């Protein structure tokens, strides 16, 4: 049996360049895995099943289950696996939990079944499941382009601690809804992302003012109640707050662990929101 961590992510930058002919949007983004995680267990079995500690996520649409079915079909293995999933990442929150679970299953079954697939081959499979899945095959710091599936690894970004706040806000068909609210004036040319990329590749730090997310500009209109959460986050000391992915989670870098810990505790105990102090992580598991 294998046990793997499936880490969450934040987008240090996320720029939307424009709409594509296939209905998707071209983006450019610098993504970073962080210490929030799900736990995925894999054990060979006669059939393929998924058991999640959040029962409503155990159905056939779960990306972890689809990942197992896809890799079995594509490699001709025809093997079964019992997948266990313990959720630690908030669901549909912009943190990539489902995509990370799928990537963990692909990586894990590559090892469990001794398939010998390369990182590139696993990423190609992941792209069939979702735009964020290829990033999670390796995680760490990386540039994402295209609809998010074209991944270019980067040196470690000089980021340490951050506070992630996930309000209890649910929007139906969230990602499609947010992209649908973008107008031409919201599209950029990717220069902010490339500026930060050059800084990271040159060994520089990551100043908070270099962070950017296109969806920040439409967030309050897209998520009822988000403005209150955002302003409260700022009132307890957060600077340069940004959405994680398409939200509603938001994050802010903090200079010291103690400062971030106090901020997260205050948001959790005084306001009843999901807030965590997390550290940037660079997973080391082999594919």
Active site residue 9: yes
DSSP 8-state code for residue 157? P
Q: The tokens of 120 are what? A: 């590139």
Active site residue 274: no
Pairwise CA distance, residues 101 & 137, whole Å? 10
Q: Which of 38, 66, 101, 132 is catalytic?
A: 132
Pairing label, strands 141-145, 242-243: unpaired
Nearest to 32 by CA among 63, 7, 6: 7
Pairing label, strands 49-52, 80-86: parallel
- Burial pattern 64-85, b for ≥16 Cβ within 10 A else e, equals bbbbbebbbeebeeebebbbbb
| Contact (CB, 8 A) for 222 and 216 | no
Q: Which of 9, 38, 101, 174 is catalytic?
A: 9
The SS3 assignment for 270 reads helix
How long a stretch of residues is the chain? 287
C-alpha 169, offset from chain centre: 18
Active site residues: 9, 132
């Amino acid at each position: 049996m294998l046990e793997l961590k499936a880490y969450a992510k934040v987008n240090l930058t996320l720029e939307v360049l424009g709409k594509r002919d296939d209905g998707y949007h071209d983006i450019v983004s610098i993504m970073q895995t962080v210490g929030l995680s799900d736990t995925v267990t894999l054990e060979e079995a006669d059939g393929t099943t998924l058991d999640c500690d959040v029962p409503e996520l155990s159905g056939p649409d779960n990306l972890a289950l689809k990942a197992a079915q896809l890799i079995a079909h594509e490699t001709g293995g025809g093997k079964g696996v019992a997948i266990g999933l313990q959720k630690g990442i908030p669901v549909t929150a912009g943190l990539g939990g489902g995509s990370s679970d799928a990537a963990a299953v692909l990586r894990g079954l590559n090892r469990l079944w001794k398939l010998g697939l390369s990182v590139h081959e696993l990423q190609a499979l992941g792209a069939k499941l979702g735009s964020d899945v290829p990033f999670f095959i390796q995680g760490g710091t990386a540039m994402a382009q295209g609809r998010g599936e074209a991944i270019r690894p980067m040196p470690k970004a000089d980021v340490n601690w951050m506070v992630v706040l996930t309000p209890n806000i649910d929007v139906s068909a969230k990602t499609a809804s947010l992209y649908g609210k973008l107008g031409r004036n919201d599209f950029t040319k990717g220069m902010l992302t490339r500026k930060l990329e050059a800084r990271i590749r040159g060994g520089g730090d990551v100043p908070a003012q270099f962070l950017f997310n296109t969806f920040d500009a439409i967030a309050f209109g897209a998520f009822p109640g988000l403005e209150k959460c955002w302003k409260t986050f700022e009132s307890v000391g957060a600077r340069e707050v940004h959405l994680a992915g398409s939200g509603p989670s938001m994050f802010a870098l903090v200079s010291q662990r103690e400062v971030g810990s106090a901020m997260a505790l205050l948001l959790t105990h005084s306001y009843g929101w999901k807030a965590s102090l997390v550290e940037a992580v660079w997973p080391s598991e082999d594919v």
